[in-house]
Amino acid sequence: MAENTISFVFPAFISDYRDDPSREVPVFHEVFQEYLSKAAGLAGSELLAFHPESNPLLQNELLNQYISYIYGCSCAGILLNSGIKPVMTAGYSMGIYASLYSTGSISFETGLLFIQKAYEAIRSTVPGDHYGMCGVIGLSEKDIREIAVHYNLNLAIVNCNSDHSFIIAGDSFHINVFLLKAREEGALHARSLGVSIPYHTNLLTEASKLLAETVSTADVHAPGIPVISVLSQEMITDAEQVRREVVKNICHPFNWLATQLKMFNSGVRIFTECGPSQALRKNSKFIPGGGKFVNWNTLVNTL
């Protein structure tokens, strides 16, 4: 397996632990607990109650994001310590923070700070129960736009996962109407993502300005490994680009399909998902010519 063609990719949130590769990596528990303890000291002791089976914290948007970040940092640390170095990394949505940590651009503590400050900024500018997000599979972008126009729905397509899989955000009532109509129009799958924040929409523009105050003074370095922007598919190679990306990330749509294809076209042949849910691996099956996913435990255990 040629190690110089690997990319680490980081999910935003955790949906379940059914396929968690960490069970096959004995050192993971110890590494994870170390990061968890550090995070609990900085971000809140409720994190210490986390357990993947009995208390997975999946329903709390902020805690879920912290756990996903801690998992991603633990996973990347183990891979790097095993001598597996990627040629580039990418973070799906809020996976950006673990992606940056894995490249040495930010410290673990700075990543936690960005998550915390982004959440606080969003909560201070966007009402808690007015918005939502949903995923739809089986309709084209044109179909989705036609539903939104026909029913006068104030929604935004915030990500394209593949030609037939999209993420949509906006007013929660409009999201619910959209879900009903999308099913009627033939969506094979349409469901709420269970979040109350319209990530990647211009509704978070004010929040991004508040986040910029923290990011502008934070300790940020040039990534030691290129990070690909999921917003523009450009390579992020210096500290100022990192700062701009972190600020812009919360209020701009992204394109995962284009990002994965850009990585493949840049020479990446193997992707490994630094998370427990394997959602990006599953999605990859619908990206023709997009490369192969290998579970991170397999990479660690085959060395």
Partner 1 sequence: MAKITENTRTEVREIVLAFFAEECEADKSQIKDNTSIIKDLDGDSLMFLELIEIFKKKYNLDIELKTIGKYAVKHPVETIGQLIEMQMLIIELENRLLELEK
The backbone torsions φ and ψ at residue 289, rounded to the nearest 5 degrees and listed phi first, read 70, 25
- Shortest reach from residue 271's CB to partner 1, in Å: 17
Scanning the structure block, which residue is given the tokens 């110089």?
Answer: 4
Q: What is the DSSP letter of 216?
A: H
Instruction: Report the candidate in 16, 62, 8, 11 with the shortest Cα–Cα distance to residue 39.
Output: 62
Instruction: Report the candidate in 164, 217, 223 with the shortest Cα–Cα distance to residue 188.
Output: 164
Rounded Cα gap, residues 277 and 68, in angstroms? 10
- Shortest reach from residue 66's CB to partner 1, in Å: 26
Applying CB under 8 A, among 3, 34, 141, 184 the residue interacting with partner 1 is 184
Applying CB under 8 A, among 27, 80, 123, 164 the residue interacting with partner 1 is 164
296 within 8 A of 272, measured Cβ to Cβ = yes
- Shortest reach from residue 187's CB to partner 1, in Å: 5
Rounded Cα gap, residues 146 and 163, in angstroms? 16
Pairing of strands 292-293, 270-273: parallel
- Shortest reach from residue 296's CB to partner 1, in Å: 18
From 33-41, 131-139, 225-233, 293-301, give the range in contact with partner 1 by CB under 8 A: 131-139
Applying CB under 8 A, among 24, 188, 205, 267 the residue interacting with partner 1 is 188
205-237 CB burial, b ≥16 within 10 A, e <16: eebbebbbebbeebebeebebbbbbbbbbeebe
Residue 51: Cβ-neighbour burial (10 angstroms; 0-12, 13-18, 19+): exposed
Q: Name residues contacting partner 1, limited to 258-287 (CB under 8 A).
A: 282-283, 285-286
User: What does the per-residue mask of binding to partner 1 show for 49-88, with x meaning CB under 8 A?
Assistant: ----------------------------------------
User: What does the per-residue mask of binding to partner 1 show for 18-37, with x meaning CB under 8 A?
Assistant: x-------------------
- Shortest reach from residue 151's CB to partner 1, in Å: 16
99 within 8 A of 111, measured Cβ to Cβ = no
From 132-140, 152-160, 198-206, 207-215, give the range in contact with partner 1 by CB under 8 A: 132-140
User: For residues 177 and 239, which CB has a smaller minimum distance to partner 1 in the complex?
Assistant: 177
Q: Collect all residues with Cβ–Cβ distance below 8 Å to 219 and sequence separation of at least 6.
A: 106, 107, 110
Q: Does residue 3 interact with partner 1 by CB under 8 A?
A: no
User: For residues 38 and 183, which CB has a smaller minimum distance to partner 1 in the complex?
Assistant: 183
Q: Name residues contacting partner 1, limited to 189-248 (CB under 8 A).
A: 189
User: For residues 140 and 302, which CB has a smaller minimum distance to partner 1 in the complex?
Assistant: 140
Q: Does residue 146 interact with partner 1 by CB under 8 A?
A: no
Q: Does residue 180 interact with partner 1 by CB under 8 A?
A: no
Q: Does residue 138 interact with partner 1 by CB under 8 A?
A: yes
Residue 198: Cβ-neighbour burial (10 angstroms; 0-12, 13-18, 19+): buried
Binding site for partner 1 (CB under 8 A): 18, 137-140, 143, 164, 183-189, 282-283, 285-286
